[in-house]
Structure 1
Amino acid sequence: MDFVDSPAQSRDATILELRDFSRKLVRELGFMRSTLADSDLAPSAVHAVLEIGMRPGVNARDLAQTLRLDKSNTSRQIARMEADGLVERRTSPDDARSSELHLTAQGQALRRRIDRFATEQVSSALRRLLPADQQALLRSLALYADALAQDNGAKPSAAAPGGPLIEEGYRPGCIGDIASLHARFYAAHWHFGAFFEQRVATELAAFAGALPAAGKALWLGVENGRTLASLAIDGDPHTGVAHLRWFIVDDGLRGSGMGRELMTRAMDFVDEQGFQETWLWTFKGLDAARHLYESFGFALREEAEGAQWGATVTEQRFSRIKPKPGR
């Protein structure tokens, strides 16, 4: 009997079958449930635990890219896992303003439990396949996963096509977001506590409540309704002196240019308003921030130990004198 090759299946039919198989895989692996892999975590958080465990020291931005999540979603996941004692942030040895993510002992225990669950799930399924079919499955899935990754990597994110937008002025929720950004960062790096968070929230609320006002402005980096970066100018037109305050950028936006863009807008503002001097407080050790300030003309004017924020640190006062015309 002659062998006759059957006609190739149409591309449309192949697409429909792959979509059907993909939906079935999602259901059978448990991704439709609110929790995954014998844990109390959502599927995205389970994947975050696994990625951090496999890549100790990964930063929030790279984690977001790996998981195909937007930065604000990733930040919320990390904050929840920190609160649950699963993840901790450590200062990057290369940049004191950047954080590396590591699993805690509790997070490592959860990762091992997830691994056991997944291994048993896959092992049970593979027992139903012949060895040759198992290898064919591996090759096919590898090809399909690589094709998806190449296609997704070539496309901009639909969730945030242009990244966070910079908005000027108060917007609902920004006070809590900014206070939270400050509290998490300075607790991790400088051991500040409730006193510091309360002070940031109280003073920022009073400032925002007075807007709009002469010589004062607030800029926010906003993505999906959340504030992920901020900077304010609190100026007094009568003295010609402005105070740069509440400058912070979420870890997921480090290296994105957000900080420099906020500084550019702020310096344009103080020059347009005619302020002769702009000053700020920071702490010794924040080298990346210092380089940014100095690139905009700020210089260190004084340095001393202080505890006005609830913990003893080496405080530094920087100021920028408005360039004179023609110089």
Structure 2
Amino acid sequence: MTVQDVRSFNRFYTNVIGALDYGRRLYAPYTLTESRVLYELAHAPRTDAADLRTQLHLDAGYLTRILNKFEEDGLAERGPSDTDPRRRRITLTAAGREAAALLDERARETVGAMLDTVRAEDRPRLAEAMRTVRTILGDSDSDSDSDSDSDSDGRAPRPEDVVLREPAPGDLGWIVQRNAALYAAEYGFDADYEALVARIVADYAEDHDPHLERTWIAELDGRPVGCVMCVRDDTPGAARLRLLLVEPDARGLRIGDRLVGALVDFAREAGYREVVLWTNDILGAARRIYQRHGFVLVAEKPHHSFGQDLTGQDWRLDLHATPE
């Protein structure tokens, strides 16, 4: 590789970014840097100016001018730090959180539209190529599929920061919304998939046995970032794993592995003989998690669903088998 190769790639990617923000609709009425500051404040709600400056590599005077503008516009407030009185803590107001949410929604829609031009079978390869670039160039959070977030202390989140818990009010609705949005953005699934997820969640909400069925929510810094459901299968003695999901900005923290591990432990304690699941071959990361926990592929069949040509797969875990 030569310097010219890197410069050529930079010119190409700059054009991609410019196309995404055609007409400056994406960031308006803020600049790109102001939008990035809003994003960081929304995802690190108790950070201070010094940490923010370090994270974004901004000049102190430039960041101060941005924060002053945010305060004048009613988007942010500054106060004394909880841990160091010499520092100033920055928090978003309700208006600031609303502005950050709008920018995030625009970004998701814009990137989703770009991914619509990428064939479903090419998307895992594209994601892996992006991770490879980040890993080689020194990104410590390269397992994540989006910009790395910071937690409340201004540092990158760690696996131990993630908590698995029971669903709270609103979490079941979140499962439907995030499954629909992520699978549309990453794999081009249509509204049929959202309808399927809604039926699964509604059936669980209306009639589930807490001794035999359970849902886990993975929470990071006060927000849900992952989920999985264990429900009774039609086959006697079998539990079914459903709706495993991890938010892109929380990937790389072994959340999927922990969710599947918690489900397998629960199924074994509940007396199930086996755990079964159905997935599609394009979901490579999920399949690797299943394999690590001992699931075995037992059947696969091509099908056309959710607006895509897919290969469905049935996987099975024998809970009575002796681990190798």
**What is the TM-score with the length of structure 1 in the denominator?**
0.55
1:76, 1:245 → 2: CA distance? 30
Confirm whether residue 167 of structure 1 aligns to residue 165 of structure 2.
Answer: yes
Q: 2:239 matched to which residue of 1? A: 242
Question: Which has the higher mean CA deviation after the structures are superposed, 85-94 or 225-234?
Answer: 85-94
1:189-211 Cα offsets, whole Å, 9 max, x none, are 33211121122123212213334
Q: 1:83 matched to which residue of 2? A: 109
| 2:124–2:284 Cα contact (<8 Å) kept | no
What number of residue pairs does the alignment pair up? 222
2:206, 2:34 → 1: CA distance? 36
Kindly provide the amino acid, as one letter, of the partner of residue 161 in structure 2. Answer: G
**Pairing of 1:120-131 with structure 2 (within 5 A):** none
**CA root-mean-square deviation:** 4.3
CA deviation after TM superposition for structure 1 residue 219, in Å: 0.2
- Secondary structure at the aligned position of 1:307 is classed as strand
CA deviation after TM superposition for structure 1 residue 226, in Å: 3.5
| 1:97–1:288 Cα contact (<8 Å) kept | no
| 1:92–1:98 Cα contact (<8 Å) kept | no
1:172-220 Cα offsets, whole Å, 9 max, x none, are 2212321222122221333211121122123212213334533100000
1:247-268 Cα offsets, whole Å, 9 max, x none, are 0000011110111111111110
- Secondary structure at the aligned position of 1:312 is classed as strand
1:287-322 Cα offsets, whole Å, 9 max, x none, are 222111011010111111123444331111111111
What is the aligned counterpart of 2:215 among 196, 199, 218? 218
Confirm whether residue 195 of structure 1 aligns to residue 204 of structure 2.
Answer: no
Question: Which has the higher mean CA deviation after the structures are superposed, 246-255 or 305-314?
Answer: 305-314
Q: 2:248 matched to which residue of 1? A: 251
2:300, 2:323 → 1: CA distance? 31
| 1:177–1:228 Cα contact (<8 Å) kept | no
| 1:241–1:277 Cα contact (<8 Å) kept | yes
Confirm whether residue 40 of structure 1 aligns to residue 40 of structure 2.
Answer: no
Q: Which runs of 5+ in 1 are unaligned?
A: 1-37, 52-64, 101-152
Q: 1:286 matched to which residue of 2? A: 283
What is the aligned counterpart of 2:319 among 280, 304, 322? 322
Give the share of equivalent positions with the same residue, in percent.
24
1:80-132 Cα offsets, whole Å, 9 max, x none, are 322367985573537569999xxxxxxxxxxxxxxxxxxxxxxxxxxxxxxxx
| 2:112–2:184 Cα contact (<8 Å) kept | no
**What is the TM-score with the length of structure 2 in the denominator?**
0.56
2:212, 2:129 → 1: CA distance? 29
1:42, 1:180 → 2: CA distance? 29
Q: 1:136 matched to which residue of 2? A: none
CA pair 47-274 structure 1, distance change in 2 beyond 3 A: same
1:217, 1:79 → 2: CA distance? 30
CA pair 255-224 structure 1, distance change in 2 beyond 3 A: closer
- Secondary structure at the aligned position of 2:308 is classed as coil
| 2:112–2:185 Cα contact (<8 Å) kept | no
| 1:98–1:254 Cα contact (<8 Å) kept | no
| 1:97–1:289 Cα contact (<8 Å) kept | no
Q: 2:174 matched to which residue of 1? A: 177
| 2:161–2:221 Cα contact (<8 Å) kept | no
Confirm whether residue 93 of structure 1 aligns to residue 125 of structure 2.
Answer: yes
Query: Where does structure 1 differ by over 6 angstroms across 4 or more consecutive aligned residues?
Result: 42-45, 48-51, 73-76, 96-100, 158-161
> Which has the higher Rg, Structure 1 or Structure 2?
1
CA pair 325-39 structure 1, distance change in 2 beyond 3 A: closer
2:286, 2:294 → 1: CA distance? 13
Q: Which runs of 5+ in 2 are unaligned?
A: 1-26, 41-53, 58-89, 91-96, 133-149
2:104, 2:154 → 1: CA distance? 20
CA deviation after TM superposition for structure 1 residue 156, in Å: 3.8
| 2:239–2:275 Cα contact (<8 Å) kept | yes
| 2:124–2:282 Cα contact (<8 Å) kept | no
